[in-house]
Structure 1
Amino acid sequence: MNTSTDLAGNRESGLLRGFSLEITGKDVDDLWAASAKIPPGTRVNITFLANEDASMRVRAAEVIKDLGFRPVPHISARRLRSRGELDTYLAALARIGAVEDVVVIGGDPAEPAGPFPDALAVISSGALVEHGVRHVDIAGYPEGHPKIEDEVLWQAVKDKSVALREQGLGYSVATQFVFDAAAPITWLERLRKQGIDAPVRIGVPGPAGARRLLRYAKRFGVSSSATVVQKYGFSLTGLLGTAGPTRFVADLEAAIDPASHGAVLLHFYTFGGVRATADWIQTAQPN
């Protein structure tokens, strides 16, 4: 396979089938504009940003549902000020029929704003089941986390998996975006050896300007060394250009073995470029 130019193998196995997208509350207009190019029922995650309030997230979920997609709102544990705030948010999502699928993450703040120090605390509270959640995405970090030791991250995945199973909730592991396809493959192998067989959604940076991709990489603690970004498909001497995930997805396709790696799907971080991401997927998607 010529991993830098084609997705022939991808078309054969359908790695792109069942992909999901991530947007912010501000991206709903772009999602609407791109909706004809996105398959009905596609999962669309809604981030939990500090500069967007709950009403904006709920409105985004409503638009996503009206467009025929599946809203998957984020819940950021350390941004929640109280159990009441969590209940109010989940109840608002339930009223519009958008509470069955959520993502539960720890969140960025160094100190929790309320009683939830991490995602496990939200899961263990019982609030998700009480409000009708049926499936939860939890976070995975193929390249680690700049502020959390690897063994702590692995223990957290195991603890959350146990807690979700005990509550009868389905779950998937959705990873942070990466630039080097080798990292999620190695991470997947370890995940399966830990006995976690849940589906995994590998985070993929959608097509965007190289400067923007590097800016997001720095913000989220993702590796962006010269070697890695060159593997991804753009040169540090041409940072005004646009980089897309063609090489990355093809490299993943070549390395993934469903027999050992289990169910693997792609999750696209759109970085405000919903239409560009939808265009790329439509071109690359299996017929």
Structure 2
Amino acid sequence: MSHSKPARNPDAALTLVNGFSLEMTGKDVPGLEEARNAIPAGTKINVTFLGNEDLEMRISAAKAVREMGFIPVPHISARRLSSQSQLEDFLGRLHDVGASEHVFAVGGDPAEPEGPYPDSLSVIRSGLLSQYGVREVSIAGYPEGHPDIDDDVLWRHLDDKSAALKEQGLQAVILTQFGFDTEPVMTWIKNVRARGIDTQIRVGTPGPAGVKRLLGFARRFGIGANAMIVKKYGFSLTNLMGTAGPDTFVSDLASLLSQEPTAGEVSLHFYTFGGLKATADWANEYTTDRS
């Protein structure tokens, strides 16, 4: 396998970074306030659905995103929902604050579902989303696989979710788990397109953050973080006190995409482990340097 560096392509890199989306938790509203002037108006900002957040926190974060001029994409964590009425309550509250048009339906962490939804497909098939004004649903993609789910199951679910959304007349976006290596991402994108799925893909990668923190998240999510890969990403395992940004990953991915005619619509989604402002500042600097 060749590991030569793809040729740099500044135009492709600009296209890839423009229209990026971001991730925040329910507790990150102060961070969003601090970063708001660095983030382009109309940017999609995903709001997580973590076990240590409650309904009020999720709703107020989604509302804050909208009020600051961005597009909220609240997460719906299927396995964390204890009942249909909890799902309806959440969707109803999102609708009340104007934050229900875009959602991200994901399975979620708990080993055992807390209610009737074992996976995001069951939430989509409930038919409830469009009743509360949802128009676009993001679904998860796993270029490097999932530590607890076989690849054939992941592919079948991607096919089934894509088909279910199409049947309901809902727009779809595929949002990937974060990775450090562009090669499995490109292989996976080609496989998605070969299955006849032409949905927009948002490739997840971490914004700038401390190396130790990045490796911690990688281990937690089962992402490949061996020495060769992290070197390609642009940080060193011998300097765990340093920080790393996605410059190399983004430039390499842009070059690979520009050489792949079947890639379709691909943009970036930043996991903001190092903070919203640091990530937005990085994106501004990256695009300015290439404009």
Task: Name the TM-score class by shorter chain.
Answer: over 0.9
| 1:166 Cα deviation after fit | 0.5
> For residue 36 of structure 2, what is the amino acid of its counterpart?
S
TM score, norm. by length of structure 2: 0.95
| 1:88-167 matches, cutoff 5 A | 88-167=89-168
8 A Cα contact 2:26 2:58, kept in partner: yes
Query: Per the alignment, in what secondary structure is the counterpart of residue 189 of structure 1?
Result: helix
Structure 2: any 5+ residue segments left out of the alignment?
none
Residues 114 and 249 of structure 1, relative CA distance in 2, 3 Å threshold: same
User: Residue 173 in 1 paired to residue 177 in 2?
Assistant: no
> For residue 274 of structure 1, what is the amino acid of its counterpart?
L
Question: 2-11 or 39-48, which moves further after superposition?
Answer: 2-11
Residues 255 and 4 of structure 1, relative CA distance in 2, 3 Å threshold: closer
Aligned equivalent of 1:226: 227
| 1:228-267 matches, cutoff 5 A | 228-257=229-258, 259-267=261-269
Aligned equivalent of 1:48: 49
In structure 2, C-alpha distance between the alignment counterparts of 1:189 and 1:225, rounded to whole Å: 24
| 1:223 Cα deviation after fit | 1.1
Question: 2-11 or 48-57, which moves further after superposition?
Answer: 2-11
In structure 1, C-alpha distance between the alignment counterparts of 2:8 and 2:56, rounded to whole Å: 42
Q: What CA RMSD, in Å, does the superposition of the two structures yield over aligned residues?
A: 1.7
8 A Cα contact 2:6 2:255, kept in partner: no
Q: Percent identity?
A: 53
User: Residue 187 in 1 paired to residue 182 in 2?
Assistant: no
> For residue 110 of structure 1, what is the amino acid of its counterpart?
A
Aligned equivalent of 1:27: 28
Query: Per the alignment, in what secondary structure is the counterpart of residue 146 of structure 2?
Result: coil
Query: Per the alignment, in what secondary structure is the counterpart of residue 139 of structure 1?
Result: strand
> How many residue pairs align between the two structures?
285
Which structure 1 residue ranges, 4+ long, deviate > 2 Å from structure 2? 2-11
8 A Cα contact 1:7 1:284, kept in partner: no
Aligned equivalent of 2:199: 198
8 A Cα contact 1:6 1:250, kept in partner: yes
In structure 1, C-alpha distance between the alignment counterparts of 2:139 and 2:232, rounded to whole Å: 27
| 1:269-280 matches, cutoff 5 A | 269-280=271-282
In structure 1, C-alpha distance between the alignment counterparts of 2:176 and 2:60, rounded to whole Å: 25
Query: Per the alignment, in what secondary structure is the counterpart of residue 256 of structure 1?
Result: helix
| 1:154 Cα deviation after fit | 0.3
| 1:9 Cα deviation after fit | 3.9
Aligned equivalent of 1:64: 65
Residues 236 and 59 of structure 1, relative CA distance in 2, 3 Å threshold: same
Aligned equivalent of 1:283: 285
